[in-house]
Amino acid sequence: MCGIFGYLGNKEALNILLDGLRSLEYRGYDSAGVAILNGSVTVLKTIGHVQCLVDKTKGEQFHGHLGIAHTRWATHGKVSEDNAHPHCSSSGRFVLVHNGIVENYAETGSFLRTKGYVFKGETDSEVLVNYIDYLVIFQGLTVKTALKKVMKVLLGAYAFVLMDEQEPGKIFAVRQMSPLVAGFSEGEVFLSSDTHALSKYAKRYFIMDNKSILVISGNAEPLLMNSDGVPLQVEYKELSNDSPGAGLEGYAHYMYKEIIEQPEIISGILKSGKDNFPKELSSFFRGSSHFNRIIILACGTSYHAGLVGKYLLEKYLRIPVSVEYAAEFRYRCPVVSPSDLVIGISQSGETADTLAAIRLAKGKGAFILSLCNVAESGMARESDATILLRAGTEIGVASTKSFTAQMVNLIQLTACIPFRDFPEFKTEELIDGLKSIPSKIKTIISREPHLIELAKKYSHHKHFLFLGRGFNYPIALEGALKLKEISYIHAEGYPASEMKHGPIALIDENFPVVAIACDAENRRKMISNIMEIKARGGIVIALIREGDTEITNIADEIIEIPPVQDALVPLLSVVPLQLFAYHIALSLGRDVDQPRNLAKSVTVE
């Protein structure tokens, strides 16, 4: 988490740094800060979003051609100005912005205190900058040697950019796991947590290797080296400055725009069809007719897409699939073998736990297929094959169009896996059915006024339960996640069958239950669950197939979904739940695109 941006060039640094931060704000928005080195260092920080920092810089004399900036998602230490970055060392010589976690910061901090260092805040980042200060000032190391030592001594996943008051023509960067990219244009260098933030400015870039140090001195060739100081080959790539879907285009919120874009995104994925199927995967299938298990690894909404994938792959291909939260997988002793196909699912492709989990599986010899939305992401680069989601840039913290894109790509993948001699169910039917999805989603969106009414009516409730069975069980989880993350209302998703094993105790006349009953196979069972809720006085908001009068007569509210085969139902049933959550959040006055405590890309464990 946290976005870092650095600039060294021939222009005024401030506006470039602030602009870079705006693009990186999806990585965290608890506080923001900027430092410019121009003879001496000037630092300005503030709690809150990047715009608060922009406002604070107005009227300030902030000139200089070298600077660093940061937007924070708090890990160590509360949200405060003292804990906001950039952090200066006690001597005032070094100033740094940092993304990631220094795991042994407490011991290192205690050691530094014995040497007289005093800390203003509680962050691991302040320990980091002071440790560099100590190595250079107390131990007499050069900055370059100090950085090598830092990488040996300080544990964790981190990236940082550093300025040294005594070397005003240089900027230093270190990457240990957390991402860091260097961009270049005529006489200008940019350092950034991602390539997207560079696209307006740089013509070419390279992604710093893991465990590397970069020293940039004015116009000289950048010096990239490993943690032993051995120079590394730099591989430049061209940067295109088109970022589709990155603007608000007249919409009030990115989340809303991204919900509305779903039909178009799905049509685009369908058009690319088999072109989106990586050749490395075809080779894997050709050489591995013996592979007999799939493990899906993901977090959050991507995990829910993975669950839909499991139901699909098992139904259509009769192959065992397990879906695991990436962090749970990596911190136990998972059984993985070279004959497993491991699928990592992630919008960002940078989620720390998912990235680490696929690395672990790769280390055990499994073939790694990633489904992710960002071509330059760590997951895309480290996997054996990647299916790009083609959802366009997703900015809203709540995943919406990336979720539907994940499901569509999983459906196409199911249809592309070229074997199983006994398909009871025909994958051609799936692909055929997909064609009608964009127009059916448009129909659902056209009924938004009804969802707005429902949102207004129910936004005062403190708790919601979402129930579904079969293909709609993952949608119950997703509906609850959407509601809680943007409205801060407590919501739980459950398999409807599990309700009577505990959650039913919660039901009373103040407890709305969203019952997703629009699939054919489980309809009867869902009706029984609805009756059980009604028998206890609960409120039922039912998602039903259009014209289902039986459920209409027993539910308090209904949301109609056009008919579609069960395996495709999640693509439709999730859409009204996204809109419902959005309108509840709006009516409660929440910050829909940047809800509290969250970040778009979760790059810490």
Annotated catalytic residues are 2, 600
The Cβ-side half-sphere exposure at 346, using a 13 Å CA radius, reads: 33
Compute the distance between CA of residue 590 and CA of residue 56 in angstroms, rounded to an integer: 24
Between 108 and 301, whose beta carbon lies closer to ligand M6R? Answer: 301
The CA distance from 447 to 48, in Å, is 36
Residues β-bridged to residue 34? 44, 69
Q: Of the two residues 149 and 359, which places its CB atom closer to ligand M6R in the complex?
A: 359
- In whole angstroms, how close is the CB of 399 to ligand M6R at the nearest point? 4
Rounded Cα gap, residues 164 and 135, in angstroms: 13
Residue 330 CA to residue 423 CA, distance in Å, equals: 33
Q: Where does this chain bind ligand M6R (CB under 6 A)?
A: 299-302, 346-348, 351, 354, 397-399, 481, 485, 601-602
Q: Do strands 539-545 and 512-517 pair parallel, antiparallel, or not at all (unpaired)?
A: parallel
Interstrand relation of 40-47 and 87-88 (parallel, antiparallel or unpaired): unpaired
The residue (of 448 and 485) whose beta carbon lies closer to ligand M6R is: 485
Task: Quote the tokens at residue 336.
Answer: 């993985």
Among residues 134 and 256, whose Cβ is nearest to ligand M6R? Answer: 256
Please, what sign has the CA dihedral across residues 29, 581, 408, 336? positive
Question: Nearest residue by C-beta to ligand M6R?
Answer: 300
Give 48's contacts (C-beta < 8 A, 6+ positions apart): 29, 30, 31, 32
**E strands present in 328-442:** 340-346, 367-372, 385-388
Sign of the Cα pseudo-torsion (504, 507, 513, 518, in order): positive
DSSP 8-state secondary structure symbol assigned to residue 217? E
Three-state secondary structure of 478-510: HHHHHHHHHHCCEEEEEEHHHHHHCHHHHCCCC
- Given the complex with ligand M6R, which of 397 and 574 has the nearer CB atom? 397
Kindly tell me which of 130 and 402 has the beta carbon lying closer to ligand M6R.
402
**β-strands 204-207, 181-185 pairing:** antiparallel
SS3 460: coil
Pick between residue 195 and residue 348 the one whose CB is nearest to ligand M6R: 348
